[in-house]
Amino acid sequence: MNAAYTVPAIVLVILATVLIGALGLRISRTTSDFYVASRSVNPGLNAAAISGEYLSAASFLGIAGLILVYGPNMLWYPFGFTAGYLVLLLLVAAPLRRSGAYTLPDFAEARLESRYVHRVASVFVVGVGWLYLVPQLQGAGLTMTVITGAPRWAGGLLVAAVVTVVVAAGGMRSITFVQAFQYWLKLTALLVPAAFLLVAWQTHDGHRLAYGKQLTFRERTHVTLSSPLDLSVTRPVRVTVTGDVDGRGYAGTTLDLGPGRHHVEQGARLDFAAGTPVPDTVVMSGGRADQSVDSGPQPHSLYTTYSLIIATLLGTMGLPHVVVRYYTSPTGAAARRTTVVVLVLLGAFYLLSPVYGMLARLHAPDLILTGDSDAAVLVLPARLIRGVTGELLGSLLSAGAFAAFLATTSGLTIAVTGVLTKHVLPSRGRTSWGVRRFRWVTLLATGVPAVAQVLLGDLPVADSVGMAFALSAAAFCPLLTLGIWWRRLTPQGAAAGLVVGGGSALAAVVATIVGGMDGGWWASLLGSPALWSVPLSFLVTVIVSLATQGGVPGGTEAMMRRLHTPEDPGGRPDPAAVRGAGG
Amino acid sequence: MSVEPIPRREVVTRSPNRPRKAPVSPPVSAARAAVHEDPRLHSLMRRQLRSSLVGVVALAVPTALLPLLLVLAPASGGIRSGPGLTWLILGFACYPPLVLLGWWYVRRAERHERDFARRTEGD
Amino acid sequence: MNGALLGVCGVLLLAVGVLVGRWSARPRRTAGAGAGALTEASTLAALHAASLAAPPLRAGLNESTAGKSARRIRDLLGTRAVCLTDRASVLTWDGIGGDHHRAEALAQAASMLQERRAAAVPTGCHKPGCPLGWAFVAPLTVEDEVLGTLIAYGPAESAGLVRAAEEVARWISVQLELAELDRSRTRLIEAEIRALRAQISPHFIYNSLAAIASFVRTDPDRARELLLEFADFTRYSFRRHGDFTTLAEELHSIEQYLTLAGARFGDRLEVTLQVAPEVLPVTLPFLCLQPLVENAVKHGLEDSAGTSHITITAQDAGVDAIVAIEDDGAGMDPRHLGRILDGEGGPSTGIGLRNVDQRLRQVYGDGYGLVAETGVEAGMKVTVRIPKYHKGVLPSPGPAR
């Protein structure tokens, strides 16, 4: 990819973000337009901000990459990412806003009046936030590698550094405008190239599609492996090899790989003729093995699918950066309307994911072998459209990808920093210490995931986001839904649910990341823990609550009234209406 | 003309060496004591919960059945095959129903709240 | 292999969860070591129990606070059962035997309400195996008035327990007196808010009405508009209910105030407003910014004939919102302002600033006081930091209409 176009595009995105963040306040100089300046954020703007912050690297790059490798079943991700907001709308949006909480621990404290639950919830918020930050930074690293050839960890550190500096310097004073801008930027960055690509697809392929599992190389393709690879061959593959395959060295020899497993060493160059079927790979990522893309249905694919659905549908409501944005809605009713607009905006965005996924399957199957499938979106324009146009479209996509990293990373950083400063590391200091402390905590909030992404290597981006959703669902879905709808919830029940449900999901995620699972049912259960940990969490919360009914907080009835009573719509006359009447 | 020195500001706060007082939590207890169970609120909550659950069921049932349907569909055969349907339904067709369901729910919830406001007004 | 390991982990995790649930449900029993075995340890245990029992009682004596502290008080006394009553009812029972003793507790307390001395009373319990043979009753007094009683139960008459109950009751009484003190402090500040509201009125109402009157002939539309603003402004300032409001509402009221002030001062008053819209829903104490703006207007305009510029900014700062009000007016001697904030500036000066400072500190804690930057002839900038969420701080629901 041409760095001459891409690097300026990325620099522009960063500059625009910083400028809007610093200057995008509403300013009025005469009292007559005071009303405009102090008007609350309307649902449209807030919905764009929520969507902009939410559409992360997983959505922008990861889904197309997963579709490329695993096929259309991965479309459950964008569906779940969107439907999660519908569940949020149905069960929590308006009451959550009315609770007045800025973070989830705030909600726990307001509803349950317990410092203890509030502490435990804080720890999980930070956990979910960090787990979500790691893939953002990894995606940034991958993008930088594709663009400039820099090492993988460098891009992640760059984004972490930019976000830390901007947030710590107080540069995100008007984050709503920043995030709304990021949404429209990301949509444009995906939509414009998609239009070009579809035209190119029509002329190149004449409407040819690839729904099925089996992919073929459309033209003669060279692949140079940057890491060792295991191939699992079902149909014999003819390949010209320079390097080591199955322990033997070759120099431009043509081999017929028979059915079975073949080990290819790092640095080998494989040369496939046009029309050759793409061999399946045994993906080795972070020590985790065997997500083999075999031609039949995967052994636990149905379990994994359901677990993914549960995680995304019920996990969205607990994501720290999502909750924080709802605070901006002036009323519960506005929060609901905002969410409907979010559904529209996300739906529009995700209509593009299958387009990129399909085109990647047709034109970039070699990325499966090099392990760069997350970069599929970025390389497609250059593959289909020759010349400067392709390069420019590629830069637009890279800029959009950077917008995705920046938006989600800054949103998460602010949310995690907030929880860390206020709830996890309580301050005893004076006001003057506040700013310096805030900066150090920001560094902590981004530093931990930045180091983690260097250490962990490469998990597939959307996959680790899936784990963050699972953790969020297991920890916070019972707390929120039962807290809002069930009077008999006790702090003890909520704490037990958090610790058992959230704790078991966290343990599963850690076990999966650290490794040691060699395939089979256990790997599936631990890699996609939502299907068992969410019901477990609900069950424990309900049982312990029923066993400790003495602990029902005294303010439950008052809190329920607050959560469900509509705000007074006409507490004071709408000034605009009064002026209008005045003529 | 002589240039006047620019007046300097100093930072002033209340003296820090005054005895510190823990924040007094605002008088919630009084407000709380006055709250007794309100049947109208209960009825509002019940109606809201019913609408929410209808929405959840309308989302959950098709979502739960779809993976089974897709697995049971024939593995090959163009757009009617399992993979073909997956592309069609999950890639494109699922989003309008999500938005419509959300829109329906918002209208229901707001109607319940208007009814509630009207009944409270009658006091 | 892995399976077994994971199974074990799962069971362990479940056990941890159940334990956590139980642990948070029940207080840890302070080690009831044999008397005098380890004096230091038992002293520490007693002090610990006392420190845990104190915070709920600092909110006064009622069912909820009594319930929260009863367990700790029982730990402190080391008895099997403890009961707290007020003058009319049993507030809480902690420990065994509540099923058949609770009803008679009030009768045991009744004698005490006259006597005001701790005493031991036999319960006359006939239930076999019930270890609550004697009740040790001690009065809880605040300012020489008996508010209620503490009753500890034991198996036999014991002078020690009478003493202990009396001492603990005296300690509780001190906590309750402190609670009363807190309440009077709150009442004082509330009275100040009322004074503040009253203080706005005479001057401001007169000036506003005079300004409006001057437009009635020349520009009736403007007069009408100002009158509406005036009505709206007074409605907000004089509303009786609620301690808290939202930043959006407070800014709206400031806007009206400035419109009315603008009518009086015309072009001499220039105002810039910068608002990050995400902080508009922040909840804050009612009328805690308006006095600051009023102060800025006074400093800028009333003492001079020149033009004054006021800048109001509201920014997002993560978990806090930061509101700053700056004027380029006469400023103030920093030492004088310091005295005002310390409450030593005399009765009439700067009641607005001090009241706002006090209320912010009272609600949010000492880290959230006003920060002013000023000098003589250097204008003044007052900065307020408001947490986006603070326990118990919720906007009052609007007036029922």
Written in H, E and C, the secondary structure of A519-579 is CHHHHHHHHCCHHHHHHHHHHHHHHHHHHCHHHCCCCHHHHHHHHHCCCCCCCCCCHHHHH
**A333 inside 8 A of chain B by CB:** yes
In this predicted structure, the answer to whether residue C236 has a pLDDT above a threshold of 60 is: yes
Chain C: closest CA distance from residue B81 (Å): 37
Distance CA C312, CA C294 (A): 12
Note whether A572 contacts C400, CB cutoff 8 Å: no
Note whether C367 contacts A526, CB cutoff 8 Å: no
- Of residues A148, A493, A107, the one with CA closest to residue C22: A493
Note whether C401 contacts B8, CB cutoff 8 Å: no
Distance CA C134, CA C131 (A): 9
Is the model more confident about C273 or about B5? C273
Long-range contacts of C234-237 (CB under 8 A, 24+ apart): C234/C201, C234/C205, C235/A572, C236/A572, C237/C197, C237/C200, C237/C287, C237/C290
Superfamily for domain range C42-181 = GAF domain (3.30.450.40)
- Of residues A324, A61, A158, the one with CA closest to residue C281: A324
Q: Which residues have a Cβ under 8 Å from the Cβ of C134 and sit 6 or more positions away?
A: C120, C121, C122, C123, C153, C154, C155, C156, C157, C158, C161
Q: What band does A288 get if pLDDT is binned at 50, 70 and 90?
A: very low
Q: According to the per-residue pLDDT averaged within each range, which of A129-133, A277-281, A336-340 is highest?
A: A336-340
Mean of all residue pLDDT scores within chain C:
77
Token output for C79? 């008895």
pLDDT value of residue C203 = 64
How much of chain A, in percent, has pLDDT values that exceed 70?
85
C274: helix, strand or coil: strand
Q: At A140, which amino acid appears?
A: A
Note whether A431 contacts C2, CB cutoff 8 Å: no
For the segment A395-400, the average pLDDT, to the nearest whole number, is 91
> How many residues in total does chain A contain?
583
In this predicted structure, the answer to whether residue C199 has a pLDDT above a threshold of 70 is: no
Q: Which residues of chain B have a CB within 8 Å of the CB of C371? A: 11-13
In this predicted structure, the answer to whether residue C351 has a pLDDT above a threshold of 70 is: no
DSSP C61: S
Q: Are C390 and B24 in contact (CB under 8 A)?
A: no
In Å, what is the CA distance from B44 to each residue of A564, B31, B123, C265?
A: 8, 21, 16, 50
Which of A572, A574, A579 would best serve as a mutation to test chain C binding (most C beta carbons within 10 A)? A572
In Å, what is the CA distance from A128 to each residue of A123, A156, B27?
A: 9, 18, 35
pLDDT value of residue C90 = 83
pLDDT value of residue B111 = 94
For the segment C1-23, the average pLDDT, to the nearest whole number, is 57
Token output for C382? 């007052």
> Do strands C371-374 and B10-12 pair parallel, antiparallel, or not at all (unpaired)?
antiparallel
- Give the residue ranges of DSSP H helices in A206-331: 301-315, 320-326
Nearest-Å Rg of the Cα atoms of chain C is: 30
For the segment A422-442, the average pLDDT, to the nearest whole number, is 68
> How many residues in total does chain B contain?
123
CATH topology of domain A3-21+42-203+290-564: Sodium/glucose cotransporter (1.20.1730)
Mean pLDDT is lowest, of A502-511, C11-20, C46-55, for C11-20
Q: Are A113 and C24 in contact (CB under 8 A)?
A: no
Which of A100, A492, A575 minimises the CB distance to C389?
A100
Beta strand residue intervals within C267-397, DSSP E: 269-275, 283-285, 308-317, 320-327, 371-374, 380-387
Q: Which residues of chain B have a CB within 8 Å of the CB of C400? A: 120-121, 123
Tens of pLDDT, residue by residue over A506-564, are 999 888 877 755 567 777 888 889 999 999 999 999 999 999 988 888 888 888 988 99
Q: At A424, which amino acid appears?
A: V
Q: C33 - beta bridge partners?
A: none
Distance CA C282, CA A328 (A): 9
Q: What band does A79 get if pLDDT is binned at 50, 70 and 90?
A: very high
pLDDT value of residue A431 = 47
Q: Which residues have a Cβ under 8 Å from the Cβ of C323 and sit 6 or more positions away?
A: C247, C279, C289, C312, C313, C314, C315, C383, C384, C386
Token output for A150? 């820099």
pLDDT value of residue C84 = 85
Domain boundaries, chain B: 38-121
Which of the other chains make 3 or more beta carbon contacts under 8 angstroms with chain A?
Answer: B, C
Token output for C351? 């009641």
- Of residues A75, A2, A48, A115, the one with CA closest to residue A495: A115
- Of residues A377, A31, A5, the one with CA closest to residue C256: A31
Give me the residue label for tokens 């029992």. C53
A96: helix, strand or coil: helix
Is the model more confident about A22 or about A165? A165
How much of chain C, in percent, has pLDDT values that exceed 90?
3
Q: Are A113 and A101 in contact (CB under 8 A)?
A: no
Which of A94, A301, A358 minimises the CB distance to B109?
A94
Q: Are A17 and A25 in contact (CB under 8 A)?
A: no
For the segment B92-121, the average pLDDT, to the nearest whole number, is 92
C285: helix, strand or coil: strand
For the segment C337-350, the average pLDDT, to the nearest whole number, is 72
Q: What band does A463 get if pLDDT is binned at 50, 70 and 90?
A: low
Q: What band does A211 get if pLDDT is binned at 50, 70 and 90?
A: low
**C364 inside 8 A of chain B by CB:** yes
pLDDT value of residue A293 = 36
For the segment B79-85, the average pLDDT, to the nearest whole number, is 78
pLDDT value of residue A239 = 87
Distance CA A583, CA C388 (A): 38
Q: What band does A583 get if pLDDT is binned at 50, 70 and 90?
A: very low
Mean pLDDT is lowest, of A107-111, A186-190, B117-121, C270-274, for B117-121
pLDDT value of residue A393 = 92
Q: Are A421 and A441 in contact (CB under 8 A)?
A: yes
Distance CA C383, CA C276 (A): 16
Distance CA A135, CA A286 (A): 13
Q: What band does C28 get if pLDDT is binned at 50, 70 and 90?
A: very low
Written in H, E and C, the secondary structure of A108-148 is HHHHHCCHHHHHHHHHHHHHHHHHHHHHHHHHHHHHHHHHH
> Do strands C81-86 and C145-154 pair parallel, antiparallel, or not at all (unpaired)?
antiparallel
In this predicted structure, the answer to whether residue C198 has a pLDDT above a threshold of 60 is: no
In this predicted structure, the answer to whether residue C79 has a pLDDT above a threshold of 90 is: no
> How many residues in total does chain C contain?
401
Q: According to the per-residue pLDDT averaged within each range, which of A212-221, A495-504, C240-249 is highest?
A: A495-504
Note whether C278 contacts A175, CB cutoff 8 Å: yes
In this predicted structure, the answer to whether residue C313 has a pLDDT above a threshold of 50 is: yes
Tens of pLDDT, residue by residue over A365-374, are 888 888 778 8
Interfacial residues of B (vs C; Cβ cutoff 8 Å): 6-15, 18, 20-29, 33, 120-121, 123
CATH topology of domain C219-387: Heat Shock Protein 90 (3.30.565)
Task: Give Cα A124 to chain centroid, integer Å.
Answer: 17
Distance CA B72, CA C110 (A): 77
C245: helix, strand or coil: strand
Domain boundaries, chain C: 42-181, 219-387
pLDDT value of residue A531 = 93
How much of chain A, in percent, has pLDDT values that exceed 90?
33
pLDDT value of residue A460 = 58
Tens of pLDDT, residue by residue over A303-337, are 888 999 999 999 999 999 998 889 888 889 999 99
Note whether A340 contacts B103, CB cutoff 8 Å: yes
Note whether A336 contacts B49, CB cutoff 8 Å: no
The CATH 1.20.1730.10 portion of chain A extends over 3-21+42-203+290-564
Q: According to the per-residue pLDDT averaged within each range, which of A55-64, B43-52, C284-293 is highest?
A: B43-52
Note whether B44 contacts A347, CB cutoff 8 Å: no
Q: Which residues of chain C have a CB within 8 Å of the CB of A109? A: 391
* Per-position b or e across A318-331, b if 16+ CB within 10 A of its CB: bbbbbbbbbbbbbb
- Phi, psi angles (nearest 5°) of residue C349: -85, 140
Chain A: closest CA distance from residue B28 (Å): 9
Q: Which residues of chain A have a CB within 8 Å of the CB of C367? A: 427, 429-431, 434
Note whether B83 contacts A213, CB cutoff 8 Å: yes
DSSP A1: -
pLDDT value of residue C176 = 85
Q: Which residues of chain B have a CB within 8 Å of the CB of A72? A: 83, 86-87, 90-91
For the segment C154-164, the average pLDDT, to the nearest whole number, is 81
Q: What band does A504 get if pLDDT is binned at 50, 70 and 90?
A: very high
Q: Are A273 and A217 in contact (CB under 8 A)?
A: yes
In this predicted structure, the answer to whether residue A572 has a pLDDT above a threshold of 50 is: no
Distance CA C98, CA C67 (A): 13
- What number is the ipTM of this complex? 0.86
pLDDT value of residue A350 = 95
Distance CA C136, CA C109 (A): 10
Note whether C394 contacts A100, CB cutoff 8 Å: yes
CB atoms under 10 Å from CB of A247, counted, come to 7
pLDDT value of residue A433 = 52
Q: At C330, which amino acid appears?
A: A
pLDDT value of residue C29 = 45
Q: What band does A295 get if pLDDT is binned at 50, 70 and 90?
A: very low
Q: C82 - beta bridge partners?
A: C94, C152
Distance CA A193, CA A183 (A): 16
Q: Which residues have a Cβ under 8 Å from the Cβ of B119 and sit 6 or more positions away?
A: B40
Task: Give Cα C388 to chain centroid, integer Å.
Answer: 16
Q: Which residues have a Cβ under 8 Å from the Cβ of C324 and sit 6 or more positions away?
A: C311, C312, C313, C315, C381, C382, C383, C384
**C60 inside 8 A of chain B by CB:** yes
Q: Which residues of chain C have a CB within 8 Å of the CB of B34? A: none
> Do strands C308-317 and C269-275 pair parallel, antiparallel, or not at all (unpaired)?
parallel
pLDDT value of residue C30 = 45
Mean pLDDT is lowest, of A433-442, C219-228, C356-365, for A433-442
pLDDT value of residue A5 = 83
Q: Are C293 and C257 in contact (CB under 8 A)?
A: yes
Tens of pLDDT, residue by residue over A244-274, are 888 888 888 888 888 878 888 888 888 888 8
In this predicted structure, the answer to whether residue B118 has a pLDDT above a threshold of 80 is: yes
In this predicted structure, the answer to whether residue A576 has a pLDDT above a threshold of 50 is: no
Q: Which residues of chain B have a CB within 8 Å of the CB of C341? A: 12-15
Distance CA B64, CA A74 (A): 16
Please report how the helices A461-485 and A104-112 are oriented relative to each other, as an axis angle in degrees rounded to 10: 20
Tens of pLDDT, residue by residue over A6-58, are 888 888 888 888 888 777 666 666 655 666 666 778 899 999 999 999 998 88
Which of C13, C225, C401 minimises the CB distance to A500?
C13
**C145 inside 8 A of chain B by CB:** no
Please report how the helices B95-121 and A332-350 are oriented relative to each other, as an axis angle in degrees rounded to 10: 170
Distance CA A508, CA A467 (A): 9
Mean of all residue pLDDT scores within chain A:
83
- Of residues C395, C369, C366, C398, the one with CA closest to residue C382: C369
